[in-house]
Amino acid sequence: MSVCMFPGQGAQRLGMGQDIFVRFKDLKEQADDILGYDLARLCKDGPIEKLSQTEYTQPALYAVNSLQYLKYLEDGGRTPEYLLGHSVSEYAALFAAGVLDFATGLKIVVKRGELMSEAQGGGMAAVLGLKANEIEEILRSEGIHDVFAANYNTPKQIVLSGIKQSVIGAERQFVDAGASHYKVLQVSGAFHTPFMEKACRRFAEFISCFEFESQNIPVISNVTARPHVDADIAARMIEQVTSPVRWSDSLRYLLAKGVSFSDIQEVGPEGPPIVRPMFKRTELEAGPLDSAELAAELPPLMERPKTEKQDDSHTRGLGKPIEMNGSAVKFSHVSMENIGSRAFCEAFGVRYPYGSGAMYQGIASADLVIRMAKAGLLGIFGAAGLPIPQIKAAIARIRSNIPAGRPFGVNFIAHLNRPHLEDELTDLLLAEGVSLIEASAFMDVTQALVRYRAKGLRSESGRVQADNRVIAKVSRPDVASQFLRSAPEPMIKKLLHEKAITEEEADLLRRVPMADAICVEADSGGHTDQGMPFALIPPVLKLREAAEEAFDLSGRIFVGAAGGIGTPEAAAAVLILGADFIITGSINQCTVEAGTSAAVKDMLADVNVYDTAYAPSGEMFELGSKIQVLKKGVFFPSRAEKLVATYRQHDSLETIEPKLRSQIEDRYLGRSFGEVFEQIAKAYPAEEIERAQRMPKHKMALVFKRYYRDTTDWALKGMTERKVDFQVHCGPAQGAFNQWVAGSSLEAWQNRHADAIGLHLLEQTADLLNRRLSVFTG
């Protein structure tokens, strides 16, 4: 027979793989592209301290072992009957078996190494001279509950893993029990134990988007010590993170199949063999599995309880998963602490995966953002429509009133016809060091967004870190896909040519997506495509999976939900769909902190779900874009539609018939077309006015768009004499919220605070989910 074995962590050495990197140049370059650094140079020059760090060791060993296998075959090596790899090198065995291609295997190993390297406070120790049952009896009898047998390398060479101080402190008990050797290893994590549960969950999410092919050659699983079952390979590789490495049992299985020492080929770094001698020791110390052992399932392990400090910091959507337990189904309790994605909370520095979205003209005010930040929630300042000095003052006010380091964001709205406004805002954000923006109303990625993104990028340990983060609020998957790709190459080259970014920044831009998070906005107040979350969220989640695979060295990408969320039922629905976080809008406009008038808040507190309508957008008047607004008690929706119809039917202001002209001037604008244009000429750039003089249709658009601006101002200032013209952006979530809180202290808007609403909504959502799931599971 022929069996190929791949050594795992500990087999790395300086100088490994230099000949195969030259021989398989294309694959080496492929590895460099995935890793973001020169693998051959790391393996050659080290330093060894870096090469021995888990996040570097694991991908380096995978690459070297895999290429050595290709060399073995090219040099006439016999195709093996079995393959097996120790711990991380099981992926090299899967590559050799055709289960994974080289690049896919490397991407998975990079993520595995990254997650395992994040584990801190753990330790491992090699114990020689004691058998597995003796080791487990010592752990049980001595009451050592935070140390586990992790690697069963041979019948009398076993590696312990657990809390570092407990591993160090257990030496006396094992030496007293007859261990001939007890050596604490230089690692930081409790690998292959329940303490890796957090990494395991994150790894499970990552690996779920990869396809595993059928084996061409049987691969012995570290988890089961038996050949993999094709349908279960992914599940076994997830389990491998927390399960012990059953290497000794795997070797005994091969012995039972007639494999001898001379059949073993160790395929890995040049130098003294690591795993081949383990075969001989296993043969001498225990021999093959007998017929009963061979037919049986794995020998029962010492009970491996869940660790007390488990957290669900990396689950997506609904916190803890439903679990199968025989014929019964149970679920873990859902709470505010495990709802949504804890990884989102960690990445954005918030207590809960919840935020208040930007509402233009400072309706999402500095006071609102301050209130949210103090509660550990995310608040986005509504910068759209405000002059730069006012935005700058708001940023300063927020910073001076929140604890240091608390996050907040600033809205960055698209300006289709006036891109210079985007550039001016970018200059301000960079100058003020604002590290989070909510990009909204974009149909395409723009140059200003790319420049903002570029200035916050840096390379750290082969990974790209983004200090300037972007939450893209979108309502179409095709727009989401643009933010889930790297910056458009023509824009990168243009910014380079203009010396707006450096060569290093240009290179880093190509290695990250444009957004760190996508907020899927369903039917909402203000600009809306009237989408449904049930149709929008699933395809965006699919796009996210592909993006995380493409940019696996740049961190997690999150998908959130907004639009229509004003009740626990709505929040629960989007969490079940898979949303990592929630952003609310309309319901925050009717709070004490909102930067609008008391008159508007009185109106909003009285609306129902059917009291809104769609009207033309003033910002995108010519394109026919729609906004959702309050219709109860106002004429704005119908008057806005009338202006658009008039614009489409006429070529200039002069061609409008006198009766209609008089109606618009007297009832809508409150002054003549000429007076309106005079005011516009004082505020707009000269080239814009010159264009209007040349193009009567454009002049008409500018005059009509003034109505949209005025109606917003009248509402914000609470000018009740113009109440019927108030433009109030609002979605049906406000009406749903009003019905939910009717009869409670929150019925009056004077008692509503944005942070309290958010916390109450999350608490009630968790309670609702518990009740619903308890019904589903009996």
Rg of the chain over Cα atoms, rounded to whole angstroms, equals 31
pLDDT at position 416, please?
A: 78
Phi-psi region of 131 (alpha: psi -120 to 50; beta: other; left: phi over 0): beta
One-letter identity of residue 666: D
- If you average pLDDT over residues 721-733, what whole number do you get? 94
Q: Is 518 helix (H, G, I), strand (E, B) or coil?
A: strand
Cα 218 to Cα 80, 90, 118, 245, 672, distances in angstroms: 9, 12, 32, 18, 84
Distance CA 12, CA 268 (A): 9
What phi and psi, each to the nearest 5 degrees, are found at residue 428? -65, -45
Residue 551, token pair as written in the block: 């940019």
- If you average pLDDT over residues 272-300, what whole number do you get? 80
Domain that holds residue 64: 3-115+196-295
- If you average pLDDT over residues 25-44, what whole number do you get? 94
- The predicted-structure confidence for 450-473, as pLDDT tens digits, reads as follows 999 999 899 887 788 899 999 999
* Final residue belonging to a domain, choices 135, 167, 190: 190
- If you average pLDDT over residues 17-22, what whole number do you get? 95
Is 632 exposed, middle or buried (CB count within 10 Å of its CB: 0-12, 13-18, 19+)? middle
First-to-last C-alpha distance (Å) of the chain? 54
- For 498-650, where are the E strands, in sequence order? 517-521, 526-527, 558-562, 581-584, 612-616, 626-630
574-599: buried (b, 16+ CB within 10 Å) or exposed (e) per residue?
bbebbbbbbbbbbbbbbbbbbbbbeb
- CA–CA–CA angle 289, 292, 295 (5° rounding): 90
Question: Looking at the structure, do residues 107 and 141 belong to the same domain, yes or no?
Answer: no
pLDDT at position 624, please?
A: 67
Distance CA 542, CA 548 (A): 10
Spatial strand order of the sheet with 526-527 comes to 526-527, 626-630, 612-616
Distance CA 469, CA 232 (A): 38
Residue 41, token pair as written in the block: 């140079």
Please name which of 536, 414, 411 lies closest in space to residue 478, comparing C-alpha atoms. Answer: 536
Question: Looking at the structure, do residues 180 and 39 belong to the same domain, yes or no?
Answer: no
- The predicted-structure confidence for 406-420, as pLDDT tens digits, reads as follows 899 999 999 877 889
Please name which of 330, 328, 331 lies closest in space to residue 320, comparing C-alpha atoms. Answer: 331
Domain assignment present for residue 230? The answer is yes
Enumerate the β-bridge partners of residue 562.
521, 583
Q: Is the pLDDT of residue 322 over 50?
A: no
- If you average pLDDT over residues 582-588, what whole number do you get? 94
Percent of the chain scored above 90 by pLDDT?
Answer: 74
Q: Is the pLDDT of residue 552 over 80?
A: no
The lowest-confidence range among 35-44, 240-249, 295-304 is 295-304
Distance CA 391, CA 399 (A): 12
- The predicted-structure confidence for 696-707, as pLDDT tens digits, reads as follows 999 999 999 999
Domain assignment present for residue 639? The answer is yes
- The predicted-structure confidence for 108-134, as pLDDT tens digits, reads as follows 999 999 998 888 788 999 999 999 999
Evaluate whether 379 touches 357 at the Cβ level (below 8 Å).
Answer: no
Please name which of 553, 556, 518 lies closest in space to residue 536, comparing C-alpha atoms. Answer: 518
Question: Looking at the structure, do residues 636 and 663 belong to the same domain, yes or no?
Answer: yes
- For 317-365, where are the E strands, in sequence order? 322-325, 328-331, 354-356
Distance CA 44, CA 20 (A): 12
Question: Looking at the structure, do residues 172 and 201 belong to the same domain, yes or no?
Answer: no
- If you average pLDDT over residues 632-647, what whole number do you get? 94
Domain assignment present for residue 452? The answer is yes
Residue 35, token pair as written in the block: 């890793």
Domain with 444 in it: what CATH number? Answer: 3.20.20.70
Question: Looking at the structure, do residues 404 and 470 belong to the same domain, yes or no?
Answer: yes
Residue 605, token pair as written in the block: 């507190």
Please name which of 238, 231, 148, 224 lies closest in space to residue 193, comparing C-alpha atoms. Answer: 148
Question: Looking at the structure, do residues 523 and 559 belong to the same domain, yes or no?
Answer: yes
Domain assignment present for residue 735? The answer is no
Question: Looking at the structure, do residues 155 and 132 belong to the same domain, yes or no?
Answer: yes
- For 311-448, where are the E strands, in sequence order? 322-325, 328-331, 354-356, 378-381, 409-413, 436-440
Whether the ω angle into residue 616 lies within 30 degrees of 0, i.e. cis, is no
Residue 371, token pair as written in the block: 């209130």
Q: Is 456 helix (H, G, I), strand (E, B) or coil?
A: coil
The lowest-confidence range among 134-148, 190-204, 311-325, 452-466 is 311-325
Q: Is the Cα dihedral 562, 567, 572, 577 positive or negative?
A: negative
Q: Is the pLDDT of residue 725 over 80?
A: yes
* Final residue belonging to a domain, choices 140, 166, 190: 190
- If you average pLDDT over residues 593-616, what whole number do you get? 95
Distance CA 264, CA 83 (A): 10
Question: Looking at the structure, do residues 99 and 133 belong to the same domain, yes or no?
Answer: no
Question: Looking at the structure, do residues 200 and 186 belong to the same domain, yes or no?
Answer: no
pLDDT at position 319, please?
A: 44
Q: Is the pLDDT of residue 424 over 80?
A: yes
Provide the CA 25 distance to its chain's centre, in angstroms. 33
* Final residue belonging to a domain, choices 190, 223, 241: 190
- Share the mean pLDDT of the chain: 90
Residue 18, token pair as written in the block: 């230099």
Evaluate whether 490 touches 482 at the Cβ level (below 8 Å).
Answer: no
Distance CA 718, CA 716 (A): 6
Evaluate whether 634 touches 533 at the Cβ level (below 8 Å).
Answer: no
Domain with 139 in it: what CATH number? Answer: 3.30.70.250
Residue 760 is among the residues annotated as catalytic for this protein: no
pLDDT at position 295, please?
A: 61
- The predicted-structure confidence for 473-485, as pLDDT tens digits, reads as follows 999 999 999 999 9
Domain assignment present for residue 479? The answer is yes
- Kindly state the DSSP code that residue 220 receives in the 8-state scheme: B
Question: Looking at the structure, do residues 406 and 533 belong to the same domain, yes or no?
Answer: yes
- If you average pLDDT over residues 96-113, what whole number do you get? 95
> What is the number of domains present in the chain?
4
Distance CA 542, CA 540 (A): 5
Please name which of 736, 525, 738 lies closest in space to residue 612, comparing C-alpha atoms. Answer: 525
Distance CA 519, CA 442 (A): 13
Residues in the chain: 778
The model's confidence at residue 327, banded by pLDDT at 50, 70 and 90, is very low
Domain assignment present for residue 314? The answer is no
- If you average pLDDT over residues 219-246, what whole number do you get? 93
pLDDT at position 271, please?
A: 85
Domain assignment present for residue 530? The answer is yes
Distance CA 82, CA 634 (A): 77
By DSSP bridging, strand 328-331 and strand 322-325 are: antiparallel
Q: Is 613 helix (H, G, I), strand (E, B) or coil?
A: strand
Evaluate whether 20 touches 73 at the Cβ level (below 8 Å).
Answer: no
Distance CA 731, CA 629 (A): 7
Evaluate whether 357 touches 438 at the Cβ level (below 8 Å).
Answer: yes
Distance CA 735, CA 270 (A): 70
Give the helix ranges, DSSP H, for 446-554: 447-454, 477-483, 489-497, 503-509, 533-550
The model's confidence at residue 282, banded by pLDDT at 50, 70 and 90, is very high
pLDDT at position 301, please?
A: 39
pLDDT at position 296, please?
A: 58
Evaluate whether 334 touches 318 at the Cβ level (below 8 Å).
Answer: yes
Q: Is the pLDDT of residue 304 over 70?
A: no
Helix axes 636-649, 696-717, angle to 10 degrees: 170
Distance CA 182, CA 185 (A): 10
Evaluate whether 439 touches 470 at the Cβ level (below 8 Å).
Answer: yes
Domain with 91 in it: what CATH number? Answer: 3.40.366.10
Distance CA 55, CA 115 (A): 8
Question: Looking at the structure, do residues 206 and 237 belong to the same domain, yes or no?
Answer: yes
- For 131-269, where are the E strands, in sequence order? 147-154, 157-163, 181-185, 264-266
Domain assignment present for residue 11? The answer is yes
The model's confidence at residue 772, banded by pLDDT at 50, 70 and 90, is confident
- CA–CA–CA angle 735, 739, 745 (5° rounding): 115
- The predicted-structure confidence for 491-518, as pLDDT tens digits, reads as follows 999 999 999 999 999 999 999 999 999 9
pLDDT at position 525, please?
A: 82
Longest CA span, the chain: 106
What phi and psi, each to the nearest 5 degrees, are found at residue 336? -60, -30
Q: Is 671 helix (H, G, I), strand (E, B) or coil?
A: coil
Evaluate whether 233 touches 105 at the Cβ level (below 8 Å).
Answer: no
Q: Is the Cα dihedral 86, 91, 94, 95 positive or negative?
A: negative
Question: Looking at the structure, do residues 561 and 618 belong to the same domain, yes or no?
Answer: no
pTM: 0.60
Evaluate whether 510 touches 523 at the Cβ level (below 8 Å).
Answer: no
The model's confidence at residue 777, banded by pLDDT at 50, 70 and 90, is low
189-200: buried (b, 16+ CB within 10 Å) or exposed (e) per residue?
bbbbbbbbbbbb
The model's confidence at residue 623, banded by pLDDT at 50, 70 and 90, is low
Among residues 89, 117, 161, 192, which one is catalytic? Answer: 192
Cα 570 to Cα 322, 344, 362, 378, 733, distances in angstroms: 20, 20, 26, 19, 9
Stretch (H or E) spanning 622: none
Stretch (H or E) spanning 123: strand 122-128
Residue 87 is among the residues annotated as catalytic for this protein: yes
Cα 653 to Cα 397, 689, 704, distances in angstroms: 44, 15, 10
Among residues 66, 87, 243, 365, which one is catalytic? Answer: 87
Distance CA 628, CA 644 (A): 16
